[in-house]
Amino acid sequence: MSVTHEPGSAPTDELWETIRSWDVEDRFWIVMTIVGSYYAALLPAVTACLAVVASLALKGRTLPLSLILEGFSGYGKTAVLQMFFALALEPFIYRSDKFSPKSFVSHAANVKRQELSKIDMLPRLKNKVLTTKELATMFRGREDELTETFAQLCTVLDGKGLTTDSGMQGQRGYKKYIVFNWLGATTPVPAETHALMYQLGTRLLFFEVASIPPTRAELFSYMEQDRSNEAEEETKKAVTFLLLEFFRQHPVSSVEPNSVVIPQKLLMELACWAELLAAGRAKIIYERSNGTAIPVAANPPEAAYKIAQYFMLLARGSALIQGRSEVDASDVDMVAHVAVSSIPGYLRPIIRLFRKAARVDSTSAAALCGVSAPTARKYLKELSLLGFGTLRKGDIKTNTPDTLTRAPAYSWLNGSRP
């Protein structure tokens, strides 16, 4: 490679023309260098989103792959998605900033039946990535509304079309495979919504975007440089360039999945992360005692077959966009982050701690999660019911903490490979 990019400067036309002749791996490197010069903290999220888009190139896809960026406001979720909004990417990206599940197959009373297919959203999504900047309202609301929303989403995200009936238009829909991917963003999802999603089966994966406040010096530097418009335009240009060159080399549905090899050792790791996600999303059963919800049992986890398919798609998409024909440990690390991010948020810090320590007590869990001691004891009880460890009860009167010892089935979390 004979050309380098100076951090903090906009790439020249000469640079883009030069790297056009590079192979995919080198193009990915320079694009990540450009994006990182503006948004270093967002590189993992950008890579994950690129993997979702690149997975369109895999042949024989039957499941839509969905990845929702989750984090507090102001930490870059929208900045990541805006990198995919160039007009040149419209053959691959379908942008919809707001929609309802009823948009997939319309039953609008003020539209003639023969005209409804022109406004149906579902067929327009085929072999594209639906991209939605803000989904927070979709994950909040009354339980009956959420149930209806997710029931329809689950059907669409099975990739086998959708048919619906109404008194006004009768039955309408599509009885065929319509496979698309989905990128979105939301503020942290409530635990109650996670519980509802478990009942309907895992269809949505999440990627937690770190919410680390900038230091005063970092904020001053940001204001002094005043490059927000440049950052948005140059990162969009970089991502657009990378994807257009990628799909020129790997058109949609052109790559045999097995041509992107997943080594046996890494395949086992993906299986372990799929199993962990299924367990972490299982529904906790509570009983009321003196006005307090006490966790007493957990439903069996869903079979992790579908999650395993999502993880293989994501890992292969990650390898492809980086110019590799073999999945490596970095792809699995990205999937691992998605797996933990897709568990209810309040349990994630303890799961992450289990990657470093074999046990955690309620005192350290309270500090880690920023909750009271009784709430931390409750979290540890839930994790024990989910099968993540064995709980040894302490004594509230003597302030002896509860201790959760990691289950042998999850010993691989500490870095020893399964």
The DSSP letter of residue 396 is: T
Joined together, the tokens standing for residue 334 give 């990205």
DSSP line for 178-236: ---EEEEEESPPPHHHHHHHHHH----EEEEPP--PPPHHHHHHHHHH--HHHHHHHHH
Beta bridge partners of 184: 68, 132
Mean pLDDT over each residue of the chain, to the nearest integer: 88
**pLDDT of 17 higher than 70:** no
Q: CA 309, 80, 75 angle in degrees (round to 5)?
A: 110
Q: What is the dihedral of CA 23, 24, 27, 29, to 10 degrees?
A: -110
Using CA atoms, how far residue 11 sits from 34, 35, 43, 73, in Å, is 8, 11, 18, 29
Is residue 299 packed enough to be buried (19+ CB in 10 Å), middle (13-18) or exposed (0-12)? Answer: middle
Q: Round to whole Å and give the CA distance between 328 and 263.
A: 8
Q: Round to whole Å and give the CA distance between 307 and 111.
A: 39
pLDDT band of residue 310 (cuts 50, 70, 90) is very high
In this predicted structure, what is the pLDDT of residue 146?
79
- Look at domain 13-256 and name its CATH class: alpha beta
Joined together, the tokens standing for residue 44 give 């993992």
Average pLDDT over residues 287-315: 92
In this predicted structure, what is the pLDDT of residue 369?
93
Joined together, the tokens standing for residue 190 give 């409530």
Most confident residue range from 12-26, 138-152, 302-316: 302-316
In this predicted structure, what is the pLDDT of residue 235?
93
> The pTM is what?
0.90
Q: Round to whole Å and give the CA distance between 75 and 211.
A: 6
| Start-to-end C-alpha separation, the chain | 38
Joined together, the tokens standing for residue 53 give 């888009």
Contact 162, 104 (CB under 8 A): yes
Contact 63, 309 (CB under 8 A): yes
Most confident residue range from 104-108, 122-126, 148-152, 268-272: 268-272
Q: Round to whole Å and give the CA distance between 121 and 103.
A: 6
Q: Round to whole Å and give the CA distance between 136 and 83.
A: 20
In this predicted structure, what is the pLDDT of residue 3?
45
Express each pLDDT in 200-232 by its tens digit: 666 899 999 988 888 899 888 888 888 888 899
SS3 of 92, please? coil
| Positive or negative torsion for Cα 227, 228, 231, 236 | negative
Express each pLDDT in 369-380 by its tens digit: 999 999 999 999
In this predicted structure, what is the pLDDT of residue 1?
44
Contact 303, 278 (CB under 8 A): yes
Contact 138, 149 (CB under 8 A): yes
Q: Round to whole Å and give the CA distance between 405 and 367.
A: 18
Average pLDDT over residues 174-192: 89
Lowest-confidence region among 40-44, 193-197, 396-400: 193-197
In this predicted structure, what is the pLDDT of residue 81?
96
pLDDT band of residue 43 (cuts 50, 70, 90) is very high
Average pLDDT over residues 284-309: 90
Identify the CA nearest to 181 among candidates 317, 31, 87: 317
Joined together, the tokens standing for residue 281 give 């999303």
The DSSP letter of residue 106 is: -
Phi/psi region, residue 351 (left: phi>0; alpha: psi -120 to 50; beta: rest), is alpha
Q: Round to whole Å and give the CA distance between 360 and 315.
A: 31
Q: Round to whole Å and give the CA distance between 215 and 97.
A: 31
Q: Round to whole Å and give the CA distance between 193 and 82.
A: 26
Q: Round to whole Å and give the CA distance between 168 and 121.
A: 19
List, in sequence order, the alpha helices (H) in 3-42. Answer: 13-19, 24-39
Kindly report the backbone phi and psi dihedral angles of residue 74, in degrees, each rounded to the nearest multiple of 5, phi listed first: 90, 5
Q: What percent of the chain has pLDDT over 90?
A: 59
Q: CA 118, 122, 127 angle in degrees (round to 5)?
A: 115
Is residue 27 packed enough to be buried (19+ CB in 10 Å), middle (13-18) or exposed (0-12)? Answer: buried
**pLDDT of 407 higher than 60:** yes
Q: Between β-strands 170-174 and 162-166, what pairing exists: parallel, antiparallel or unpaired?
A: antiparallel
